[in-house]
Amino acid sequence: MLGSLNSGVSGLRNFQNEMDVIGNNIANSNTIGFKSARADFADALSQTLQAPSSGQGTPALQLGSGVTTTAVKNLYDQGSLARTGVQTDLALSGEGFFVVKDTIDGREYVTRAGDFRVDDSGYLVTNSGLRVQGFSDSALSTRGDIRIDGTGRPATSSPTATVEDFSIDQTGQVTVYLSDNTEFVRGQILLQKFQNPQALIKEGNSLFSSSAGAGPLGGTSPQAEAPGSNGLGQIQSGTLELSNVDLTNEFANLITTQRGFQASARVVTTSDELLQELVNLKR
C-alpha cells in the first residue's frame, strides 16, 4: 500500500511538471520566435519480487514505483510567418538561428526572434540591445557587429552623402542607399545551426546559449554561415516568425494532464484510506 501511495505522489509531481510546461507554452503563444516544449515521461525503477526462470518459463514478478520525467524537449518546428512591413523585422524560413552578442560581457547567443531595431549608433540590435552578428564590412570578410552607416561607401559617391535607407535580402546582405543615389553592400547577416538543438539552453528574452553538445557549425570553434548555405534557411525581411504553439493541442494536453493529476490524487487518498483501515485493526 505504501508503494501505491508513492506511485500516486510521483504522478502528482510529474503531472505538475507537465502542467508547468503546458502553462508556459500557452503563456508564450504570442511570443515572437518562441519554440514550444513537451514533457516526456517514463516509468520509474521497478521492484523485482521474483526473477524470471528460464527452465520453467516463470515470468518475472515486478512492481512499478511510479513515473518520472525524463526530458522536457523544445520543439523547433517552423512558426507561421507574419508580414509586418518593418524593414528591421526579420524572419527565418527554414533552419538556423540569428547570432547576437552582448557587448558588455562578450557572450554570444542565438535566437529565432527577429524583431530587431537600429539603435542610435546605427547598430542592428535586439530589443534588449544585443548586437546582430555577421560580416561587418563591405568586402564581407570581417566578422562583427552589423551596422547601418556609410562606412565602405564607393569612391565615386559624395563624401557628404548621408544614409537614406537600407534593405536586407534573403541571403542576409545589407545594402545601404545614400542620398546621392549611390548604393553599396555594407555587410551580411550570418546564421548558425546545430546538430543537436536539444542541448541549447533557454536564457530568457527568446535567447538560447549553446553548449559543446549542441554541435554548431564550425564544431569547437563555432562559425556562422551565410543564409541559404549549409542547409540554413533564408531571411525574410519585413516579416516575423510567430510562436509555434498550437493552442488546440495545448488545451487537449491540458485536459488529459488535469485528469491524470486527479486520478493520481485519487490513488493517494485511496491508499490513505487503506492505511487507515490497517491502523484501525488494533483498537
Segment 128-142 shows an average pLDDT of 96
Q: Percent of the chain at pLDDT above 70?
A: 99
Judge if 36 and 88 occupy the same domain: no
The verdict on residue 151 lying in a domain is yes
Mean pLDDT value across residues 140-158 = 94
Q: Which domain holds residue 32?
A: 1-7+15-41+66-78+243-283
Confidence at 210, pLDDT banded by 50, 70, 90: confident
Residue 55: pLDDT band (50, 70, 90) is low
Residues 175 and 196 grouped into a single domain: yes
Are both 176 and 256 inside the same structural domain? Answer: no
Does residue 89 sit in the same domain as residue 214? yes
**Do 90 and 28 belong to one domain?**
no
> Does residue 223 share a domain with residue 85?
yes
Give residues with Cβ within 8 angstroms of 206, minimum separation 6: 31, 32, 33, 34, 111, 112, 113
CA–CA dist 132, 174 (Å, integer): 12
208, 251: one domain: no
Measured between alpha carbons, how far apart are the two ends of the chain, in Å?
Answer: 21
How many CB atoms are closer than 10 A to CB 243? Answer: 21
Residue 30 pLDDT greater than 90, yes or no: yes
Residue 72 and residue 182 share a domain: no
Looking at the 3D structure of the chain, how many domains does it have?
Answer: 2
Type and span of the H or E element at 111: strand 108-111
Is residue 26 helix, strand or coil? helix
- Mean pLDDT throughout 272-276? 87
In a domain, 50, yes or no: no
Give the pLDDT mean for 67-95. Answer: 95
pTM of the model: 0.89
Between 162 and 4, where is the model more confident?
162
Q: What is the mean pLDDT of residues 124-139?
A: 96
CA-nearest of 217, 214, 235 to 225 is 217
Considering only residues 2 and 67, tell me which one the structure prediction assigns the higher pLDDT: 67
Is the same domain home to 27 and 161?
no
Instruction: Report, as an integer, the average pLDDT of 22-44.
Output: 95
Same domain, 92 and 132: yes
Let me know if residue 49 belongs to a domain. no
